Amino acid sequence: MHRWTGVSKNQCIYFMHALCFIVGLAAAALVLLVQFAQAQAAEITVKEWVIPTPNSAPHDIVVDKNGVAWFTEINANKIGRFDPKTEEFKEYPIPTPSSNPHGLVIDEQGNVWFTEMGASKIGKLDPQTGNIDEYPTPTSNSGPHTPILGKDVLWFTENRASKIGALDIKSGTIREFSTPTASSSPYGIIVDVDGNPWFAELSGHKIGKVDAKTGEVTEYPAPTKESGTRRIAIDSNGKLWFTEYNSGKIGSFDPKTEEMKEYDTSSVSSGPYAIWVDIYDNVWFSMTGAYKVGKFDQTTQTLHEYDLPTPRTIIRFIYADHEGNVWFPNNNNNRIGVILTNTQGTPVAKPETETPVAEPSGETAGDEQTIGSDGLLTGLPIIGSVVAVGVISAIVAYVLLYRKKQST
């Protein structure tokens, strides 16, 4: 203490100003370091494969418990199968011509259920035999759109009829439930833990729920008018997520509190379309107006957007597998693809199977490219500069103060 007894009041003030400046620089450097870590965690690798049938227009995709991808070929009138371990395709023609297969889902026995939007039928493919059974909907020209499995029932949206269909898997009979809003154009659909289907109304600009026990249909309007609610997904806490195609937003709805929230993308014309939630509760969605995919991190409340390697990529459906990878059909370019994420963390739910999806190697015919997210720091130069300025400032402040002390 004796060595600094000659320091004046003004010198002490100068020292405090310099110290505050250094602390501010250190805080800025810390923020940039966090952003850098987020950017690295947000990095993705995209791999794509060309479908054998030209101009097949793949529409929806799912992955079975063995890691095999199944997809609809809406223009080719086929169901496609792709094994990422062998990188081999197999295609199954649908008996009804021009059926326009749209959505699909896989049951516990491995059967592939799919909607035939052009034929107003539900199809069932047995992968063991290749046999396809078809079930006409009670309403003609109903436009069966997206299916999802419930408890012994296949729920599906009827886009043209503004109804929700329910096919009893054991008997094959179909019931239908009209939406309260006329001409609502129900689109995407998902099922909650109690087996109740939730759906998005593209023209009704609402999300809805069918009570699986009573058949009662309830609707909830999106906060933004004319939003174009399109696809819908659910996270591990039962919160629903949906795309707002017309407003460039994604939305969330908590059934427990009935609270809705909206999150803006980078552009009102980005066209949020498909949506799914991965095993880490990250919300993935496509933007057909911007040819991008987005990821909303619920933990950090951060929205990342990624350009895709193939120009003018149109993604109409997204599916996250049990390894955290995100599969998509490249509808505009006759391909299917997968986003191999390097997200770290603990899955929010135990995988239903321990069979991993094999990561394609870079030596195969598929195209692979690693991409970083837009809008986040992806390098160290700025961080290094800030830290360097902070260190130099500290040294200068100390030297000046020491000289002042020596002169007294």
Which CATH number covers residue 230? 2.130.10.10
Residue 148 lies in a domain: yes
Q: Which structural domain, as residue segments, surrounds residue 28?
A: 12-39+379-407
**Pair (67, 33) in one structural domain:** no
**Pair (393, 350) in one structural domain:** no
Q: Please tell me the predicted confidence (pLDDT) of residue 106.
A: 98
Question: Residue 101, Cβ neighbours under 10 Å: how many?
Answer: 29
Q: Is 147 left (phi over 0), alpha (psi -120 to 50) or beta?
A: beta
Q: Quick one: DSSP state of residue 330?
A: E
Q: Please tell me the predicted confidence (pLDDT) of residue 355.
A: 26
**Pair (400, 304) in one structural domain:** no
Residue 45 lies in a domain: no
Residue 248 lies in a domain: yes
Residue 3 lies in a domain: no
Residue 7 lies in a domain: no
Residue 210 lies in a domain: yes
Q: Please tell me the predicted confidence (pLDDT) of residue 44.
A: 83
**Pair (98, 201) in one structural domain:** yes
**Pair (25, 163) in one structural domain:** no
Query: How far is it, in rounded angstroms, from Cα 1 to Cα 321?
Result: 65
Contact yes or no for 357/323 (Cβ under 8 A): yes
Residue 393 lies in a domain: yes
**Pair (24, 159) in one structural domain:** no
Backbone angles phi, psi at 344, to 5 degrees: -105, 150
> What 3-state DSSP class applies to 40?
helix
Q: Please tell me the predicted confidence (pLDDT) of residue 12.
A: 57
Average model confidence (pLDDT) across the chain: 84
**Pair (302, 391) in one structural domain:** no
**Pair (247, 344) in one structural domain:** yes
User: Mean pLDDT of successive 10-residue segments in the chain (408 residues)?
Assistant: 53 58 56 44 83 98 97 98 97 98 97 98 97 98 98 97 98 98 98 98 98 98 98 98 98 98 97 97 98 96 95 97 95 96 47 28 47 45 48 55 52
**Pair (270, 397) in one structural domain:** no
Into how many domains does the chain fold? 2
Q: Please tell me the predicted confidence (pLDDT) of residue 155.
A: 98
Query: How far is it, in rounded angstroms, from Cα 404 to Cα 10?
Result: 10
**Pair (93, 21) in one structural domain:** no
**Pair (343, 392) in one structural domain:** no
Q: Please tell me the predicted confidence (pLDDT) of residue 341.
A: 78
> What 3-state DSSP class applies to 344?
coil
Q: Please tell me the predicted confidence (pLDDT) of residue 109.
A: 95
**Pair (203, 248) in one structural domain:** yes
Q: Please tell me the predicted confidence (pLDDT) of residue 403.
A: 55
* DSSP β-bridge partners for residue 144: 158
Residue 281 lies in a domain: yes
